[in-house]
Amino acid sequence: MNITKTLDAKGLACPMPIVRTKKAMDAINTGEVLEVQVTDKGALNDIPAWAKSGGHSIINQREEADVIIFHIQKA
């Protein structure tokens, strides 16, 4: 998987991870992949719901230590 851009949203509380994710997604092209790193547990529900509402695809999601990592492909 080619990651186009990585967003470090660690330490941010809701709604900032979503706000920053949207801004980062606006800066990449259709089909490209954004890696989002968050520590806010609310993002486990928020990021997939946001991605689905925008037609984007979460192609990978994992947790390493206390960091949740999403790979989102832009629609």
User: Across the chain, where does the E strand assignment appear?
Assistant: 5-9, 33-38, 57-64, 67-73
> DSSP character for 1?
-
The number of folded domains in the chain is 1
14 is catalytic: yes
Q: What is the pLDDT of residues 26-58, one digit of tens each?
A: 999 999 999 999 999 999 999 999 999 999 999
**Structural domain span for residue 54:** 5-73
Question: Which CATH number do you get for residue 33?
Answer: 3.30.110.40
pLDDT score for 72: 98
DSSP state of 28: S
What pLDDT score was predicted for residue 1?
A: 84
Write the DSSP symbol of residue 27.
Answer: T
Which residue is catalytic, options 10, 12, 14, 58? 14
The average pLDDT across 11-21 equals 95
pLDDT beyond 90 at 15: yes
